Chains A and B, each alone.
Chain A
């Protein structure tokens, strides 16, 4: 099974993991890493490497990150080079609940594609219309 690492500025990653598990139940190989903006980037990268090694079952690592171009996303992208890892940006709850429920049997590439599509599908512009 593909391991999943959530990366975001501040403590959002841990919150996203906690909320996801509240909805779908406790998960294995699924972890969030906080990013204190005062942390040295090399130290943060070590934390991310450590987290990735914990969830790596040999099927690859999917990094789900908050922003393209931010430190969490840049570190994930750096680590994905030349390794069995992919990065999807814009992490949100619809993306997370979809991938953790469906990842069994899916390849890293299939799961990354599913994460991308679910993240977009989960964003809707809604208004409740009152019935006459």
Chain B
């Protein structure tokens, strides 16, 4: 398993549309991907779980990837969250 921390750059945080973008990216990878924030853990392939994190702009989340091509998956997800589109 690999993990990394990243600060949310999107001005509205992980709200509906950014969360949908995150889920779309996560679904492209076979490995298990989780996002953790404020003691809560979300399956990055479940938009309802990602939305329930309530993570806002400027806040730091931890991303965990476990399974096939986990390094690539982690890099893609972290890059997305760390961009203004994510």
- A interface residues (Cβ-Cβ under 8 A, vs B): 22-25, 94, 97-98, 101-102, 104, 118, 121-122
Contact = CB atoms under 8 A, between A and B. Distances in A.
Contacts of B23: 101
A121 B48 contact: yes
B16 interface: yes
Interface in B6-46: 16-17, 20, 23-24, 27, 45-46
A64 B72 CA distance: 36
For chain B, which range describes its interface: under 10, 10 to 19, 20 to 34, or 35 or more residues? Answer: 10 to 19
B20 A24 contact: yes
A23 B16 contact: yes
A102 B20 contact: no
B48 A101 contact: no
Contacts of A25: 20
Contacts, number: 27
Interface of B: 16-17, 20, 23-24, 27, 45-48
Nearest to B26: A101
B27 A23 contact: no
Is chain B's interface secondary structure helix, strand, loop, or mixed overall?
Answer: helix
A90 to B, nearest CB: 15
Is chain A's interface secondary structure helix, strand, loop, or mixed overall?
Answer: helix
23 contacts: A22-B17, A23-B16, A23-B17, A23-B20, A24-B17, A24-B20, A24-B24, A24-B47, A94-B48, A97-B16, A97-B20, A97-B47, A98-B46, A98-B48, A101-B20, A101-B23, A101-B24, A101-B27, A102-B27, A104-B27, A118-B48, A121-B48, A122-B48
A85 to B, nearest CB: 25
Given A98-B46, A98-B48, 18 more contacts: A22-B17, A23-B16, A23-B17, A24-B20, A24-B24, A25-B20, A94-B48, A97-B16, A97-B20, A98-B47, A101-B20, A101-B23, A101-B24, A101-B47, A102-B27, A102-B45, A104-B27, A121-B48
